[in-house]
Amino acid sequence: MDHEKPTVCVLDASTYVGFWILKGLLSRGYAVHAALQKKGSETEIESKIKEMGRDEERLAVFTVDILDYQSILAALKGCSALFCCLDCPDGYDDIMVDLEVRGAINVVEACAQTDTIEKLVFTSSLTAAIWRENICSQKDVDERCWSDQSFCRKMKLWYALTKTLSEQAAWALAMDRMLNMVSVNAGLVLGPAVAQQNPRSTMSYLKGAAQMYENGVLAVVDVSFLADVHIRAFEDSSTTGRYFCFDQTVNTEEEAVKLAQSLNPLLSLPPKYECRGTEAYAERLRTKKLNKLAEGTA
């Protein structure tokens, strides 16, 4: 007889990735607190979650403000884990950097002050690891790498800077509070209706796409696989540190064209575009830790 699954929290469950994690947890039998950030008008995903909350007894919906520590504590009450998926639906600029970092700090502190929390699974990005002046001279880019803050500011890579500073702040506080934390550094997230439901984060990630492509660090991940990795990272007690998460490196012109087509209408190609190049750029990203997690030997 299976043990009853614990209650967990997803914040922000109304983000594209958060919603898929929420669905994955419910399908596995977890009770879930879906924490939704206060926004202006209600999004399609928010409407779906509220509708699910009326029909699904294992789902409780909370409204939180990540700058309001008490609202986060209320959503975490009775939960054994938090899946933290912060994202800005309006895109990223220099102002958003500070807001998301402050939100990440509040989330980690709230977890540390909630006795029932056993693990924090923190969604980050590959862009928190791949941006620096001399990336093309580096053979292996793995979980030990961090993006250079000064370089990100100089190039106005606000999404990458936000994810770098947020994750670093989360790690620093989690270690200080002795909180069990794992981060999942996702590639560009693809999946059903991503261009419609996650347009600005997608385009923010793709700032500097040409350089990422030429340097062999442009990678994508299917959202259902990404959600599964988050849940495995929680369920496997041996997980530790950061995990790069992607299922393909885009390093040929043919793959780049397929990516652009999958993101239509966010990205568009000239009519009757034909691939001409056969060059494949060297892949630099490494996924040894992800492979072990997927095999159940993390």
Does residue 250 sit in helix, strand or coil? coil
Separation CA 287–CA 298 (nearest Å): 12
Q: Tell me, rounded to whole angstroms, the distance of Cα 289 from its chain centroid.
A: 17
Is 119 assigned a catalytic role? Answer: no
Dihedral sign (CA 235, 228, 253, 163): negative
**Residue linked to tokens 């575009």:** 273
Out of 23, 163, 207, 289, the active site residue is 163
Residue pair 54/31 in contact (Cβ under 8 Å)? The answer is no
Task: Write the CB contacts of 288 (distance below 8 Å, at least 6 apart in sequence).
Answer: 142
Q: Are 15 and 87 in contact (CB under 8 A)?
A: yes
**3-state SS class at 73:** helix
Nearest CA to 202 among 95, 127, 286, 287? 127
Collapsed DSSP state (helix, strand, coil) of residue 203: helix
DSSP symbols for 75-114: HHTT-SEEEE----TT---HHHHHHHHHHHHHHHHHHHT-
H or E segment and range at residue 210: helix 209-214
Cβ proximity of 97 and 161 under 8 Å = yes
> What is the set of active-site residues?
163
